[in-house]
């Protein structure tokens, strides 16, 4: 979703909010990546919470929240919403790094199959960016439809999605 939003962000802003908000494009391009990281980070938070390690989540989130407040106090006065967006993204990146680091010291460390799938997903995403770039002069609806379909086909071809995954979708 982040890749699908980053490149046509200007068109999205213009369609949804109009020309008056065109300058918000860069904030969208930054914050959509923060949203992607929040999705991943929440998986770690649920993992630690479900294994009775809520204190880990509380400590990490509390520390990162404090860091985010400090970054915002430093960056917003001179650079407004763009630097606030960057501060948010940096906080989410740091959260991910810390969560991966902590989980790597437990039985819940990231294993090779997940890394292989992640590389395949990243490859499919990069190829989707190429499609989005090639279609940039077309309607945003066409860009979204074609790129999402292309991405799903790539996930099947690269065997990120298998028969078991498809069977779960049918239920």
Q: pLDDT tens-digit profile of 28-59?
A: 999 999 999 999 999 999 999 999 989 999 99
**Which among 109, 130, 147 is the end of a domain?**
109
Do residues 78 and 9 share a domain?
yes
Do residues 25 and 105 share a domain?
yes
Do residues 57 and 96 share a domain?
yes
Which domain, by its residues, includes 144?
A: 111-171
Do residues 167 and 142 share a domain?
yes
**Average pLDDT rounded to a whole number, residues 84-99:** 93
Q: How many domains does the chain have?
A: 2
Do residues 22 and 84 share a domain?
yes
Do residues 49 and 116 share a domain?
no
Q: What is the pLDDT of residue 110?
A: 74
Do residues 18 and 80 share a domain?
yes
**Which among 72, 90, 109 is the end of a domain?**
109
**Could you write out the DSSP letters of every residue in the chain?**
-HHHHHTTHHHHHHHHH-GGGGGGHHHHHHHHHHHHHHHHHHHHHHHHHHTT-HHHHHHHHHHHHHHHHHHHHHHHHHHHHHHHHHHHHHHHHHHHHHHHHHHTTSTTPPPHHHHHHHHHHHHHHHHHHHHHHHTTTS-HHHHHHHHHHHHHHHHHHTTSS-HHHHHHHH-
Q: pLDDT tens-digit profile of 53-65?
A: 899 999 999 999 9
Q: pLDDT tens-digit profile of 98-151?
A: 998 998 888 877 777 777 888 888 888 888 888 888 888 888 889 889 988 999
**Which among 57, 74, 109 is the end of a domain?**
109
Do residues 57 and 134 share a domain?
no
Do residues 98 and 18 share a domain?
yes
The pTM is what?
0.74
Do residues 89 and 13 share a domain?
yes
Q: pLDDT tens-digit profile of 4-18?
A: 788 788 888 999 999
């Amino acid at each position: 979703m982040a890749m699908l939003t980053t490149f046509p962000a200007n068109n999205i802003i213009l369609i949804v909010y109009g020309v008056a908000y065109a300058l918000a494009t860069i904030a969208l391009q930054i914050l959509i990546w923060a949203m992607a990281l929040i999705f991943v980070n929440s998986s770690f938070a649920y993992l630690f919470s479900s294994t009775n390690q809520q204190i880990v989540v509380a400590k990490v989130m509390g520390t990162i929240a404090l860091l985010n407040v400090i970054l915002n106090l430093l960056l917003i006065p001179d650079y407004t919403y763009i630097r606030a967006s960057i501060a948010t993204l940096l906080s989410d990146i740091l959260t991910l790094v810390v969560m991966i680091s902590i989980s790597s010291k437990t039985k819940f460390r990231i294993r090779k199959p997940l890394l292989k799938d992640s590389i395949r997903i990243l490859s499919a995403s990069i190829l989707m960016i190429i499609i989005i770039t090639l279609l940039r002069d077309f309607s945003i609806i066409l860009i979204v439809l074609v790129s999402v379909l292309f991405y799903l086909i790539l996930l099947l071809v690269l065997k990120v999605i298998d028969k078991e995954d498809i069977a779960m979708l049918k239920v």
